[in-house]
Amino acid sequence: MNTTMNRTNRTTRLAAALVCAAAGTLAFGAHAAGEAKNVIFFLGDGMGPVTVTAARIYKGEKQLAAKPGSLVSSERATLVMQSLPYAARVKTFSLDGQTTDSAPSMAAYMTGVKMRNEVISMSSDTMAYDSAGKQYINGEDTTCQPTNGKAADTLLELAKAKGRAVGAVSTTRVGHATPATTYAHICNRNGYNTIAEQSVPGHANYNPKLLDGIDVLMGGGQRNYLVGAGTKRTDGVDLVAAMKAKGYAYVDTGTQLKAVDTAATGKLLGLFSPSEMAYELDRVKQKLDQPSLSDMTEKALGVLSKNDKGFFLMVEGGRIDHALHGTNAKRALEDTLAFDAAIQTALDIMNKKDPGLKNTLVVVTADHDHAMAFNGYPKIGNPILGLVNGYADGKPTKAADGKPYTTLVFGNGGRPNATPSSQVNAEDGNKPWIAPARGPVRDDQSAMDTTDDNYLQEVGINLGTPGAETHGGGDVMLFAGGAGSKLFKGTVENTKVFNKVKEAAGL
């Protein structure tokens, strides 16, 4: 009798398990495939794992300074992106580089195609350089030949074809690699004028897959849209005027953007600086009339979310990358926190419009890493921008040369040299860089303020002047939440992220 009962129990448990498994599969499929009529794709340019970790600690330091005792230690702070329930790691190599450029890495997310460095949303046979090694550009105009590859459909274009609203927002130029991959196709990313033209309805170079046009486009880059002194246009065509003639509302200051009535705005173009927008630290300290990334995200969602069929929005924290190229960790961390705040803004808005994000997918990732390293054995609570104080005795840790070193360092980068322009920060009133020299003998940083806005972390290999630091080839993190987010797990090729978003959004 006991044997019979045991068999019956085993059979019952097995049947129950199969039912649960089937139910789980059905629930996963229903949740994942085609439910996300809204997609918000956040891209922290160059935001590798060390940058994310350091930003979290930096956020904790700020929180403790504002509200002592609110955390056990700064390490225990929480970034919004890391609160999303699903996560994955992403391989970032390009078709021709172990370490990728931003163009093919973001284009892989947007098109599912592996391409060469500096190529934007084209087929894998596209070349960025001619046989003589010259870029296919003349100034900031393209010289790409029509036989040099074919356009690869982007997620933004696929969403537009479904009747959804579409937009791209960045703190870089709107024609910079990351935003450009969503709406443009070009063999070399440096043809900024041509990229701009592809966004303008009615222009001879307009991208017809955008149909009636991108609904929202915001960032920097006036010099590729406007004519006159200081601009890069060579044909005398004012692209802003052309877009306004097609019904776009145009704003160029933060004040003007705040005044935009999204309920009455169908198409919105915002260009807030000649080239890149300011770093968040400078935007705030210098009281510049530029919007924050959160401000732009809020207005973009206000315009796009009116479409009952849904929307696709790409939001880039683009200047994280630029600060890292400059080995200026403080600005990189400030911009990462501004990026994280924009994610919170989007979640707050969409949870009101779409409770529980039942129809909204939020993806947060980076296109590549950088050469920044988290260094030494600092004690808990050690300032992330400070010198390493050891966990055992709390005293400054010394290198073999008897001198202290900082927690954050770079494998390579640039140093100021005899050239006057390399010695100062043009974006901060030409204040001098504080940069430990890279030579036969290390500078003693004991008396340096390593938390200064213009302090540049030490570098292992000197590649030139500030800004010369390279990308890193490591895998990056991806976080996801909302409709279809269960698809994002494990370690994946960057091209597969495209497939997962496409499936989740029913594109």
pLDDT in tens, 270-313: 999 999 999 999 999 999 999 999 999 999 999 999 999 999 99
pLDDT beyond 50 at 30: no
Of 461, 458, 453, which is closest to residue 387 (Cα–Cα)?
458
At 362-377, the pLDDT tens digits run: 999 999 999 999 999 9
pLDDT value, residue 439: 84
At 243-266, the pLDDT tens digits run: 999 999 999 999 999 999 999 999
Cβ count near 402 (within 10 Å) = 8
* β-strands 311-317, 38-44 pairing: parallel
Q: How far apart are CA 467 and CA 411, in angstroms?
A: 13
Q: How far apart are CA 263 and CA 265, in angstroms?
A: 6
Instruction: Place 156 in a pLDDT band, splitting at 50, 70 and 90.
Output: very high
pLDDT value, residue 15: 42
Asked if 257 and 269 count as a contact pair (C-beta separation under 8 A), the reply is no
Residues 6+ apart with CB under 8 A from 288: 254, 278, 282
Q: How far apart are CA 315 and CA 468, in angstroms?
A: 25
pLDDT beyond 70 at 198: yes
pLDDT value, residue 33: 58
pLDDT value, residue 438: 84
Of 108, 101, 98, which is closest to residue 473 (Cα–Cα)?
98
Of 244, 291, 245, which is closest to residue 268 (Cα–Cα)?
244
Q: Which residue numbers are catalytic?
A: 102
> Which helix (H) or strand (E) element contains residue 219?
strand 216-220
Arithmetic mean of pLDDT, 112-127? 98
pLDDT beyond 60 at 18: no
pLDDT beyond 60 at 5: no
Arithmetic mean of pLDDT, 440-444? 92
Asked if 367 and 109 count as a contact pair (C-beta separation under 8 A), the reply is yes
In total, the chain counts a number of residues equal to 507
pLDDT value, residue 34: 67
Tokens matching residue 5: 């009962």
Phi, psi of 406 (to 5 degrees): -90, 160
Q: How far apart are CA 296 and CA 298, in angstroms?
A: 5
Arithmetic mean of pLDDT, 389-411? 97
Rounded-to-5 percentages of helix, strand, coil across the chain: 35, 20, 45
pLDDT beyond 50 at 23: no
Tokens matching residue 403: 């001198």
Asked if 38 and 311 count as a contact pair (C-beta separation under 8 A), the reply is yes
Arithmetic mean of pLDDT, 333-337? 98
Arithmetic mean of pLDDT, 144-168? 98
- How would you class 405 by CB atoms within 10 Å of its CB: exposed for 0-12, middle for 13-18, buried for 19 or more? buried
The answer to whether the predicted template modeling score (pTM) of the entire model surpasses 0.85 is yes
Arithmetic mean of pLDDT, 101-118? 98
Rg of the chain over Cα atoms, rounded to whole angstroms, equals 24
Residues 6+ apart with CB under 8 A from 64: 70, 71, 74
* Pick from 6-20, 116-130, 323-337, 387-401: least confident: 6-20
pLDDT beyond 60 at 29: no
At 472-492, the pLDDT tens digits run: 999 999 999 999 999 999 999
